[in-house]
Chain A
Amino acid sequence: MLSTSESLLIRIRNREDADAWSRFVHLYTPLLFRWARQAGLDAHAAGDLSQDVLSVVLQKAGTFCYDPNGSFRAWLRKIAINQFRLYWRRRQRHELLVGESWIAQLPDRKSLESTWDSGYCLALLAQANVALQPNFSPPIWEALQEWLRSPEESVESIGQRHGVNIWTLYSAKRRFMKQLRANLAGLIDE
């Protein structure tokens, strides 16, 4: 059961809470990875970067004081961009070391930030959505996903197609949204 009343943000501060960390990694790795790819890194570099960022999060989580007014998105963005720059610098240094003349332009902060901001919510939601799958039986999950993808279609027809009682479907959707909201508490600015 993945739902929780306690925010993931608070839970990852506890070093013994392996489940929280695992969920956090599953949520954020794809987000970081895609962002790094968009920013121009190859897959391996993007993977390393994601790992670096998350290890910093891991180290800093204990000290990250949750500020209800501050946004986690911005906090993480800062770490990600710092790591990105660090990576860029290392790469430049490496190129210097092996004697190639590669001094490519570091993407400017503005564009890194805007890429981050535009992708953040969508990636997180998509990932959080996937993470909830084990909580629902396959037909309900399928129906639910279909409903979410095409909200204009009538519940009855979706329910019928998947053989799911519509009230069960309504109930499942409520449950789904509740869990989704709990899982993302504090992670996105609603």
Chain B
Amino acid sequence: MIQPNVQCPSGNQWARFLQEDLDDSSCESIERHLDECIKCAADFKKQFESLSDPLEASLVGALRGGPPSGAAVEDERTYLQDLVERINKMGQDRATIEMPLTQERAAEILWLLEPGGHPKSLGCLAHYDLIEILGAGSSGVVFAARDLLLEREVAIKILRPTLGPSAQNRFLREARAIASLVHDNIVMIYEVGQDSGLAYFTMPWLPGETLERRLQRVTFLPEPETKTLTKQICAALEVAHQRQLVHLDIKPANIWLDSKSGQCKLLDFGLARAVELDTTMTATGVLAGTPSYMSPEQARGEELDYRSDLFSMGCLMYRCMTGRLPFVGNGILGTLQAIQHVEPPAPSDVNSACSPDMSRLISALLAKDPLNRPASANQVRDSIDMPVEKWPFLRTADSETTNCGNLSKTKSSPKRPTNNHNDFRPPVRHFLIALLIGGFAFAFGLMLPDVLRIRTSDGEIIIETNDPNVQVEVLQDGQLIHILDTSSQRSLKIAAGTYSIQPSRSVSDEATFRISPGIVELTRGEQQIVKVTKIFAEASEFENDLKSNGKSSEAVQPIYQGRTLRQWIDTLNAEQDSKTLAMGIKAMSLLVATDSPDLDVAVELVRKVMRQYGTDNNFGKTDHELRVLRNAYDEFFGRIPAERSLEFLKCELLNGNLKSFSYLWTLSHATLGDSPMVEPLRKLIGDAERELCETFIEAVNRRTAANNYDEALYLGYLASSSHFWQPEILQRKVANQGMMIDMQAHYESQRRVNLEVGPKLIRNHELFENAFRTTDSELSKVLFAQFFRSLHQSNPKIMNVVATFATNPDLDATVRWLAFETWLDCPDSDVEKTINVLLPFAIGASDILNIPPVGMSTSPIFQPDLGTIDQVSVELKEQFDSVKTVKWSRNVITEEPGEVRQMGYNSLSIPTDRNIRIQILRRLRRVKEPSEKLRMLTEEFLRQQVHTFSEEMKTAAREGITKSTTSDQRKLLGDVYSQVIINHLALLTLREWGLEPGPDRKNPID
């Protein structure tokens, strides 16, 4: 045996060794020792094996399961390896990662493409194999691609297919603009083309990143770098400006930093336009830009020249030098306001590293008045390396004599509006326009949120009509551009141009309209009144004209809010925003042809939306959002053929969920604001009442059969609270169909699983309350009586909830009483916790609850407990000595001569408040060992219940009730008999609880 040549490790060392807490050399020496020392080796093995590691156990499980095998799996393994590499690369070059929006945008395009030949290809467009997504903007998506003919890498910008023809024009214009500019600092264009219905152009693919991304990483740039950058961008701008092109969207995201050459490239001329040549653009005044980098004149929607770009350049330099934006406001509106009215702190004040000259140059560029800015990009570029005294523009900034070379033509704002009042237009109005249009654009996800398009110089079309519900279509060049629903909108602000107005096709079949003028030529800022007159006579020549017009316009694909039906369907599938969903639903109702299969698609989409978002406010959306959605549903079902609407409603009753069939409920309640379409819908439902009732009953039966408690209950409310479903019909039908029995059986079964019901009740508290608040029919009361009763055996927590139902003054009185009774009846309810809530309620209840006195009510709830009354007959005997025995029965009024008297309890008029006291006392009697707190809470109450009787009362009581007893006498008797019971119960309780009856005893009865 070899003796160990080292000393055995200490206990501490072993522990650390086992806990993997030693350095490598110590480990090695221990391992050597283990090889040699048998004792230690045995010890160690024992200890090692006794360590149980759950992670190791899991690992063993994972390894034993082993990877799946087979040929298909082998294929996948290769694919998987590729995939891992691809994703890894994506992470290594993180610049390619964009927000999910980018992917959405890219996906729009990729669906339309042929699959590419290469496994890594995203798709094939013309002779380009798309490799990866580089980024997405408002108008298009940029991909890295491989040119298969020239075998080189390119960047390809593809126009988003969902944009309309004007976007295509803009896109082409962008390509032309770039193509016309040849400069090192402007991205070059290889080719413009169209394939698979997609417009695209290609550019060189340059490794690098945008300035925006750089600034996100490093916050700000050193001054020399900013200077270089500024000079390069200004050189690019100069070239563009010389060709009378204004870029209009200068911002860091549009500057590409080419990491290979170190040059920067100006990108994205999507908004650029010619100052001189393109007069149509200025006529309609479509402006755009990114709010944070907009010039004041751009923000106001005024005419622009190249100095707008210089202002944006100033913003960009400000950001580079300080890491901050010069103008920041609350939201877009605030930013636009700040741009016009706020003087930002000088860059050198924000960042002390910024030289005074640089700071001054930036401030000069940020002048509010374009005339006070440097006169050209060239001047800016030159000034960068010049001492400030030599700057040309500071000396001459206020004069009109600036020498700006070949740009002098445009220097004095050649596009200044001729009507001077525009200069003095208060900015507020532009803000409003900006906000409205901006909001519209965001809602539709048409563009990135940071790009704002402002439509100014609109005219206005005002409709005058003798029919409040007429709809007219506004067409331009045969294309439907807007539908005006005069019930909600009487005027339309719209870009200047020529429009034709015609009645909406959906109504033109029923009536004839005369529209004058039918063609409107709208100029900027003008209002035009169009008169729409409904003609009640039969078909005229005029109508025939209209019909032929209608036919001709059928040839073009109709659009609503700029999108075709297909595009709207597309939108609805992707959107979650209520406003957009609503707009889409409305659009479908207007655009879908009733005989086309598209209608099925549309109906299914609405079904999906409704099942997901519901129609009333129990399901998460806000009231406002739901109103918007509801109005859209109303319009949809009001417009499509009636039988389809009915079919839909029936289907939702049978197969829908709470959210979708609650639409029937909201239809019957004008609580959320109604669209004009709701009336025809209500009529439709009214006409089909019988049919719907049958469906309804089947729906309930289905739910109860499936133990779908929530939905059955909700259908119960629905039935009982619908205004247009005659409650009698429904109740009878439902009862006839055995629904009540089903419900009862259901509740019986629920009683056994009360633990399940309880939490549901607590969770759905508000749902229940809402149902009570809006219900007034007997049926729902009975349903709730049964529901409450089903809770009798449940836990105190649930009873506390029930107690809150009793005292909620917003609830229906009967329902409150039912809740109260339930509470009283429940042996397990936590009396101590709830009595101080319920006592004041119960005592004052006769005032609150306008319910008939006992004896008059037909509801089973109000039937007294005769057993209790029998118990107190002894007391009666004591009080009224001539009566030996009183035998109570419910209704009989027979007088037995002599000793025994039979009394009909129901013929008495027991006041409600006394009945409530009786119930409370009965409840308290069940508490055999009251807590100190409960005694304290109820002592006063118990004492106050004991009263004495006047002689007159005693006499009346002795005589009892006969057929000739008047109603006044019955009332008196009711008072007396019920008070006898109260006295009895109160005294008994006081006695048993060890309380003195007290001085209040024997108060005379009032």
Contacts and interface: CB of A to CB of B under 8 A. Distances in A.
A binds B: yes
Interface of A: 15, 18, 21-22, 24-26, 29-30, 33, 37, 43-44, 47, 50-52, 54-56, 58-59, 86, 89-90, 92-94, 96-97, 103, 121-123, 125-126, 129, 145, 148-149, 151, 155, 165, 167-168, 170-171, 174-175, 177-178, 180-181, 184, 190
Contacts of B570: 93, 96-97
Contacts of A151: 60
29 contacts: A21-B91, A22-B92, A25-B87, A25-B88, A26-B84, A33-B83, A37-B76, A43-B75, A47-B80, A54-B91, A55-B90, A56-B100, A89-B573, A90-B574, A93-B573, A103-B604, A122-B62, A129-B59, A129-B63, A145-B63, A148-B56, A148-B60, A151-B60, A167-B34, A167-B35, A167-B41, A171-B27, A171-B31, A177-B55
List of 7 A-B pairs having minimum Cβ-Cβ separation, nearest first? A125-B62, A21-B91, A93-B573, A122-B62, A167-B31, A47-B83, A29-B84
Contacts of A171: 27, 31
Contacts of A58: 90-91, 94, 97
Contacts of B61: 122
Nearest to A98: B111
B894 to A, nearest CB: 66
B569 interface: yes
Nearest to A20: B91
Contacts of B48: 170
A68 B527 CA distance: 65
Contacts of B20: 174-175, 177-178
B86 interface: yes
Contacts of B80: 29-30, 33, 47
A151 B60 CA distance: 8
B60 A149 contact: yes
Contacts, number: 125
A43 B83 CA distance: 10
A47 B54 contact: no
B601 interface: yes
Contacts of B90: 51, 54-55, 58
B103 interface: yes
B79 interface: yes
Interface string B90-112: 11101001011001000100010
Contacts of B103: 52, 55
B53 interface: yes
A43 B97 CA distance: 22
B565 to A, nearest CB: 11
Contacts of A167: 31, 34-35, 41
Q: How large is the interface on B (under 10, 10 to 19, 20 to 34, 35 or more residues)?
A: 35 or more
A7 B91 CA distance: 18
Contacts of A29: 80, 83-84, 87
Given A93-B570, A97-B566, A121 B601 contact: no
B55 A54 contact: no
B53 A177 contact: yes
A126 B574 contact: no
Interface in B25-53: 27, 31, 34-35, 41, 44-45, 48, 53
B58 interface: yes
A61 to B, nearest CB: 10
B67 interface: yes
Nearest to A37: B76
A121 B61 CA distance: 10
Contacts of A30: 80, 84
B100 A121 contact: no
A96 B84 CA distance: 31
A4 to B, nearest CB: 15
A33 B103 CA distance: 19
B56 A25 contact: no
B928 interface: no
A126 B67 contact: yes
Contacts of A25: 84, 87-88, 91
Contacts of B867: none
A66 B58 CA distance: 24
A50 B87 contact: yes
A4 B292 CA distance: 44
Contacts of A56: 100
A64 B749 CA distance: 47
B681 to A, nearest CB: 27
A47 B56 CA distance: 30
A15 B75 CA distance: 33
Contacts of B76: 33, 37, 43
B574 A93 contact: yes
B97 to A, nearest CB: 5
A26 B193 CA distance: 40
Contacts of B54: 190
Contacts of B604: 103
B65 interface: yes
Nearest to A181: B55
A25 B61 CA distance: 23
Contacts of A50: 83, 87
A26 B59 CA distance: 17
B64 interface: yes
A168 B83 contact: no
B63 A43 contact: no
A126 B65 CA distance: 9
B55 A190 contact: yes
A126 B62 contact: yes
A59 B62 CA distance: 30
Taking each of A44, A52, A54, A56, which has the highest tally of chain B beta carbons within 10 Å of its own beta carbon?
Answer: A54
A21 B62 contact: no
Contacts of A129: 59, 62-63
A171 to B, nearest CB: 6
A86 B573 CA distance: 10
Contacts of A59: 97, 99
A122 to B, nearest CB: 4
A121 B97 CA distance: 28
A90 B107 contact: yes
A5 to B, nearest CB: 13
Contacts of B574: 89-90, 93
A69 B92 CA distance: 30
